[in-house]
């Protein structure tokens, strides 16, 4: 655990320090978030937060390779190296989009390339658990399902990246929950505690923690597509890597199917809020006769603002919702007694009630956003 804590602190410190430099680069090269009708910010804001998080994560992972425990696991080094290489590719796609506003097709192609690279380097789904059996995937099915899963999660974070600090905090909370699951699973089942999923998720949490002071309201910079695509990609590949490093037969059978399938369910649960937003946007835009990627101002965070919540209030509500879902899913997967199961179910139920209640608040006038200036 001490090595994981060190990785988290290094990722946080490196990201915090590099963010200032990345902000200056964004201002110099004109990578700025323009003010559009659907946006909440009122002035242009510099991007490249994703580049800072990639640097922080890379520093932390490279340091982890030198540590006696994590650095002694060849499979962890191999898989984390593959994830870092592919993460750099998808972050580059986001950087290019922040600079030149790539078309949706170009961004999609870049995501496919990054997913294909990580699969080619050996990080892919090997099995799918079903009631009473585990299906081993052949090569073609493994590649197709893994690429689809990675691209889906990569795009999901984009849909929740609409308020200062929202995506950073939601993903950071989810990454901590994912790390807790990975670590507790290895402890309770007496497995090796060094896994790629644990390393990457704790590094994600650290990177988000280090970037949050620059990104929380009032933000000094945005993560941009370089950050949104990066965080979704890292969460997805963490889940995929765990399926390849833990034998499903070693999972706790007395808890049913959930502990076995949880490595794949957790990234989706962590991104439940943006995935829900994605599905709602697809249905809404299709019903209106628009392309699913045509932007609008009807996302969940927009609706919270319309109902009178401040930016900070809306962000904190969505933080709470994400924490309840993420840690509630972990409870269902790991707890053994009936009382704990009821508590976990209660957390999930509270998350649903919280979401419905906050979205159902009556309008309370316009959202007031204080103007902010960008230091040139």
Tens digit of each residue's pLDDT (9 = 90 or more) over 8-24: 999 999 999 999 999 99
pTM of the model: 0.83
- pLDDT-derived band at 375 (thresholds 50, 70, 90) equals very low
- pLDDT-derived band at 292 (thresholds 50, 70, 90) equals low
- pLDDT-derived band at 260 (thresholds 50, 70, 90) equals low
Q: Give 233 or 182, the one with higher predicted confidence.
A: 233
Residue 215: predicted pLDDT: 93
- Decide: helix, strand or coil at residue 338: helix
Is 337 a known ligand-binding residue?
no
What's the average model confidence in pLDDT over 86-107? 93
Sign of the CA dihedral running 19, 24, 30, 33? positive
pLDDT higher than 70, residue 3: yes
Residue 258: predicted pLDDT: 54
pLDDT above 70 covers what percent of the chain? Answer: 71
Is 364 a known ligand-binding residue?
no
CA separation, residue 178 to residues 133, 162, 275, 281, 301 (Å): 24, 23, 17, 26, 24
Sign of the CA dihedral running 81, 84, 86, 92? negative
pLDDT higher than 60, residue 370: no
Cβ atoms of 321 and 355 closer than 8 Å: yes
Tens digit of each residue's pLDDT (9 = 90 or more) over 183-232: 887 887 777 888 999 999 999 999 999 999 999 988 899 999 999 999 99
- In the chain, count H helices and then E strands: 13, 4
32-36, 104-108, 277-281, 327-331 — most confident range:
104-108
Residue 248: predicted pLDDT: 59
For residue 310, what are its two tokens?
């401040």
Residue 359: predicted pLDDT: 54
Tens digit of each residue's pLDDT (9 = 90 or more) over 45-69: 899 999 999 999 999 999 999 999 9
Distance between CA atoms of residues 166 and 169, nearest Å: 5
pLDDT higher than 50, residue 363: no
Look at the block and give the residue holding tokens 């497995």: 191
Residue 138: predicted pLDDT: 87
Residue of 204, 126, 130 whose CA lies nearest to 169? 204
- pLDDT-derived band at 160 (thresholds 50, 70, 90) equals confident
Question: In the chain, where are the structural domains located?
Answer: 2-359
Distance between CA atoms of residues 52 and 46, nearest Å: 12
Tens digit of each residue's pLDDT (9 = 90 or more) over 108-151: 999 999 999 999 999 988 877 665 667 778 889 889 999 998 99
What's the average model confidence in pLDDT over 339-366? 57
Q: Give 366 or 222, the one with higher predicted confidence.
A: 222
Tens digit of each residue's pLDDT (9 = 90 or more) over 298-350: 666 666 766 766 778 878 888 888 888 888 777 776 665 555 556 656 666 66
Residue 314: predicted pLDDT: 79
pLDDT higher than 90, residue 41: no
User: Dihedrals φ, ψ of 46, to 5°?
Assistant: -70, 145
Q: Give 356 or 279, the one with higher predicted confidence.
A: 279
Residue 367: predicted pLDDT: 42
Distance between CA atoms of residues 259 and 332, nearest Å: 8
Angle between helices 311-334 and 258-270 (to 10 degrees): 170
Distance between CA atoms of residues 257 and 249, nearest Å: 11
Distance between CA atoms of residues 238 and 79, nearest Å: 10
């Amino acid at each position: 655990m001490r090595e994981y804590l060190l990785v988290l602190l290094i990722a946080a410190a490196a990201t915090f320090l590099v963010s200032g430099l990345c902000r200056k680069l964004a201002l110099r090269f004109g990578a700025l978030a323009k003010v559009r009708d659907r946006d909440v910010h009122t002035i242009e804001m510099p991007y490249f937060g994703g580049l800072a998080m990639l640097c922080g994560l890379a520093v932390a992972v490279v340091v982890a390779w030198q540590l006696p425990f994590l650095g002694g696991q060849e499979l962890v080094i191999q898989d984390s190296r593959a994830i870092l290489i592919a993460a750099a590719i998808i972050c580059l796609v986001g950087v290019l989009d922040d600079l030149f506003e790539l078309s949706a097709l170009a961004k999609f192609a870049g995501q496919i390339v990054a997913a294909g690279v990580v699969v080619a380097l050996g990080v892919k789904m090997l099995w799918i658990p079903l009631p009473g059996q585990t299906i081993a995937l052949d090569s073609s099915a493994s590649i197709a399902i893994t690429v689809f899963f990675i691209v889906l999660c990569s795009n999901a974070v984009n849909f929740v990246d609409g308020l200062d600090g929202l995506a950073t905090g939601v993903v950071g909370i989810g990454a901590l929950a994912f790390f807790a699951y990975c670590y507790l699973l290895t402890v309770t089942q007496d497995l090796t505690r060094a896994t790629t999923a644990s390393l990457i998720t704790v590094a994600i949490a650290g990177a988000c923690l280090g970037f949050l002071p620059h990104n929380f309201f009032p933000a000094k910079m945005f993560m941009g597509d370089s950050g949104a695509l990066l965080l979704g990609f890292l969460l997805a590949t963490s889940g995929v890597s765990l399926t390849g490093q833990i034998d499903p037969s070693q999972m706790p059978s007395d808890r049913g199917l959930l502990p076995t399938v949880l490595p794949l369910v957790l990234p989706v649960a962590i991104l439940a809020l943006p995935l829900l937003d994605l599905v709602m946007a697809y249905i809404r835009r299709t019903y209106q006769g628009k392309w699913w990627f045509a932007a609008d101002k009807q996302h969940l965070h927009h609706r919270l603002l319309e109902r009178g919540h401040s930016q900070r209030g809306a962000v904190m509500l969505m933080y709470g919702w994400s924490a309840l879902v993420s840690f509630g899913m972990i409870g269902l997967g790991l707890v053994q007694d009936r009382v704990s199961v009821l508590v976990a179910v209660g957390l999930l139920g509270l998350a649903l009630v919280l979401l419905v209640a906050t979205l159902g608040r009556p309008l309370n006038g316009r959202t007031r956003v204080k103007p902010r200036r960008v230091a040139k």
